[in-house]
Structures are given as C-alpha cells and as structure tokens.
Chains A and B, each alone.
Chain A
Amino acid sequence: MAVIHQEPEVREDLTRYAGSWVAIRDGMVIASALDPVDLRNDPLVHENDLLMPVPSNTSGIFIL
C-alpha cells in the first residue's frame, strides 16, 4: 500500500541564513553556523536533527 511521506517540511523561510548551515527540528531552525562541524557540535543540536547548507541564492530557477 502506498504511503505519503510524512517527513516535516522546513516551515521557516531560510533566506536570512543564506551561505550558512542550519540545523532543523520539527520544521524550524534551532541553530546555525558557517561551519557544519561547528554546527553539529553546538549543544542545541541533536544527532537526528536535519543539517543542511542554505544556498547563497534561493530565489532563482534550479538547473543542476
């Protein structure tokens, strides 16, 4: 039986974090840093948080 993916979206606008890494929990940013390892070592960040870079330009068309 098909199941709709239930992973939460990122609900917060990440534009102001452009160029940084962010940690996401329950769809919201809980920490940010310029370096991903610094971010993971932040005591606010848990192992199962989603870690991702925020593109420097998020408004254009993606051609990858």
Chain B
Amino acid sequence: MPELVVAYRSVGFGVARPYLVLHVSGVDGRSGLIPGLIDSGADRTVLPAGYAALLGYGPEDLEAVQGAQVGGSVTLRNAKKPSRPYVPEIPHVVFDVRPSFVDGCETALWGRGDIMRQFDVTIRERRQQFVLAWDE
C-alpha cells in the first residue's frame, strides 16, 4: 500500500500541527488550496463558512442541521453536493467530500467521514508526522 509521510507544519501561528493541504474543486468548477487539520474527532469535514462561497455553494446547496462540538451545540450548513479534493502529491486519488460549513469556525478540519475513508491515517506525534496510506 503506498504511503505519504507528512511532517507537522506551522501555517503562520508558530506551532507545528498535523496540517494537510488539499486541492479542492468546488461545485462551480473553481478550485483552490485549503489547509486543514487532520481531526479524528470530527465525524465529517468542517470548513469555515467563508469557503462556501469560494467553492460555489449557494443557500440552495446547503442544509442547516444542528451538531455538537466541544463547546456545545452548533449550526452546521451541510453541503448537498460534493466538492472534489485531492492531495497535491497524489493527484490521481480524487474523492468526494460534502463539507459542513460553520459560522465562526476559523480552521478547516478534515474529518473521518470523507478524508479518512479515502486514506488510512496514522498519527506519529512523537515524530511530529502523520502518514496517509491508500489503495491503488
């Protein structure tokens, strides 16, 4: 099974964390790079609300539901249509993600329901690395 070892990185806040940058194509065909934290505690991918417009989602493409976070309940706007991300170093592995957009969220979280169904993810905290493994 092929693997990609990713070093923990800082994205300008001083502390190295398990950030993964994905190239994401939105529902309007536009695309861009989004850095997010690998988050095994997130059932699905969560994005700051501002990414909805960048990925081409309008109000009709989103469904409001209640969710729970560490600080209490939160309103999620779940995408009805998928975006298509891939890891830049693995461009042939393209998959679907239906993000939940959250007002007030300031960090993208790559959750279990999409990213971690595509990749086996191993956290190596002592080495400040994580590993992505996938089926060819």
Q: Footprint of B on A, CB under 8 Å? A: 1-7, 9-15, 21-22, 24, 35-37, 40, 47-56, 58-59, 62-64
Contacts and interface: CB of A to CB of B under 8 A. Distances in A.
B89 to A, nearest CB: 6
Nearest to B108: A52
A58 B11 CA distance: 10
B106 A51 contact: no
B71 to A, nearest CB: 9
A62 to B, nearest CB: 7
B54 A47 contact: no
Among A37, A53, A59, chain B packs the most CB atoms within 10 A around the CB of A53
Given A63-B70, A64-B107, A47 B4 contact: no
Q: Is the interface of A mostly helix, strand, loop or mixed?
A: loop
Contacts of B109: 64
Nearest to B133: A2
B75 interface: no
Contacts of B23: 48
17 contacts: A2-B5, A3-B89, A7-B9, A10-B11, A14-B12, A24-B12, A36-B53, A47-B31, A48-B32, A49-B33, A50-B32, A51-B54, A52-B11, A52-B108, A53-B107, A64-B37, A64-B41
B17 A62 contact: yes
Contact of A12 (B12, B31, B32): B12
B32 A13 contact: no
Contacts of A21: 50
B6 A5 contact: yes
Contacts of A52: 11, 34-35, 108
A13 B34 CA distance: 18
- Top 8 nearest A-B pairs by Cβ distance? A14-B12, A5-B6, A10-B12, A36-B50, A58-B13, A55-B106, A50-B33, A10-B11
